[in-house]
A and B are shown apart, each in its own frame.
Chain A
């Protein structure tokens, strides 16, 4: 009996895994070919970094913006890749066709999350590369890996937020709405410049933003933020993730019910 179970289960697990890998591979290819996505998600942080991050004899600014723009790239990749991506496929009826197929449910979300995280890591790698070669920054291997790990883990809360956005945002006005929310939030979280340079009221709001906690973790890699708060930052991000997933799930079930 146990033999029969393993015999029937193994191909099923194998084919599921194959489906997840295929889904991820083609989602990544799709995003690369979608120029509006790939050029802006990679292009914006790089251009801003070239403009503001490479001042001579200012290694601290360079390293600050490597961390900050890595977070910014991660947010754009997830909000546009996952949030707008799902919103559009939902509106076009494409999501429904996929839902009618035996596609493993998790493969769809996993593919979008892994692909967006891959874009974010590309941004991080390019920023470090530019910072070292064109700027005065020194980034050790361990710092680079720690930053990459934070960006990778940070893709989870952003995926959850992207999912919630996908449930609400109308696909046509999606890019505008996402930018309108995301750009100010990224400023107020310290992605662009140290919080101490921002108005006091903004500094007071910042700890309420999950993105602030992500930025603090990324900046701490270069000693630009205190390391002592790391546990709190991770807990806030974990709580935010659960909250977003729950809100997205409730919205999804409600819309299903109305349909």
Chain B
């Protein structure tokens, strides 16, 4: 039904925001007794890269699989180009890169790309796909002989070869060295510039910061925070206070502007945006407070504090 997909593409959205490509609306999903996603809403618009950021088990992959129509939500709705992602009209508009343990070894990079191209009504020409993913030099190599970085690039090629409107990349740089990682970053930026909506999951704040227009922070299936990288960094960054005190971490967490407070062997570690106010309260309440140390928290540290409960 390519003609229908076309109609959806040129439909005016009626607002100044770029066209909405895909959305999750108040979506919940449970596996057995465990809640994987709990009331998460998410919008993806044309030309933007959204990073779904969170620790392992946060529900990132579940969100991606819902958008790909591999899972159906227990409640809430999932839409791609205004349709159920399981419909064939929506599926030809989606490209995906998933975490694959092994790829069938015996086909060459070019053969596998040609195969995936045949699934789409208007695929990109094979040479362009090879160039886009940086595979031209190894197009005749079998998948079984590729290095980790080459394999990820080949999987990336399979995600984009159909020229889809929505590209979902589940942990595209996992296990890659810094050089290969930067190559993937460049390719993702190219996609957004070409007008795709890109959803990318990662557990590296650095990666989300470098790539995304918007970061959606999730933890234990819930949306924790959403905003531009600058907003997220501003929200999570701050100071780290370490000291010995008789105040309990629970009481400290209740103080205003405290992101987290954990007891450790070296004393209590507190992350906060307002160290002066927090310290004033602590010193008033515990005159015996000792071994005080206040440092600037690194982004990763602050992010970790926010997503470990």
Q: Which residues of A contact B (CB under 8 A)?
A: 7-8, 11-12, 15, 18-19, 22-23, 26, 29-30, 33-34, 89, 91-94, 96-97, 99-104, 258-259
- Among B115, B119, B142, B158, the residue within 8 A (CB) of A26 is B115
Q: Is the CB of B119 within 8 A of A94?
A: no
Residues of chain B contacted by A8 (CB below 8 angstroms): 1-4
Q: Is the CB of B119 within 8 A of A103?
A: yes
**Per-position binary interface string of chain B over residues 127-147, scored 1 when its CB falls under 8 Å from any chain A CB and 0 otherwise:** 000000000000000100000
Q: Does B296 contact A (CB under 8 A)?
A: no
Sort A-B residue pairs by CB-CB distance and give the 6 closest, nearest first.
A8-B3, A22-B118, A33-B106, A102-B91, A92-B102, A100-B68
The residues in B between 88 and 107 inclusive whose CB is less than 8 angstroms from any CB of A are 88, 91-92, 94-104, 106-107
13 sampled A-B residue pairs with Cβ under 8 A:
A8-B2, A11-B2, A19-B119, A22-B118, A29-B107, A92-B102, A93-B99, A96-B100, A99-B70, A100-B98, A101-B119, A102-B162, A258-B32
Q: Is the CB of A97 within 8 A of B69?
A: no
Q: Does B120 contact A (CB under 8 A)?
A: yes
Q: Which residues of B contact A (CB under 8 A)?
A: 1-4, 31-32, 65, 68-71, 88, 91-92, 94-104, 106-107, 111-112, 114-116, 118-121, 142, 155, 158, 162
Residues of chain B contacted by A30 (CB below 8 angstroms): 104, 106-107
- Among B2, B96, B119, the residue within 8 A (CB) of A12 is B2
The chain A residue sitting closest to B1, CB to CB, is A12
Q: How many A-B residue pairs have CB under 8 A?
A: 87
Q: How far is the CB of B221 from chain A (nearest CB, A)?
A: 16
User: For the complex, what is the distance from the CA of A164 to the CA of B100, rounded to whole Å?
Assistant: 23
Q: Is the CB of A92 within 8 A of B106?
A: no
Q: Is the CB of A96 within 8 A of B106?
A: no
The chain A residue sitting closest to B99, CB to CB, is A93
User: For the complex, what is the distance from the CA of A89 to the CA of B100, rounded to whole Å?
Assistant: 10
- Among A19, A92, A100, A103, the residue within 8 A (CB) of B103 is A92
Q: Is the CB of A23 within 8 A of B101?
A: no
Q: Is the CB of A19 within 8 A of B118?
A: yes
The chain B residue sitting closest to A23, CB to CB, is B115
Residues of chain A contacted by B142 (CB below 8 angstroms): 33
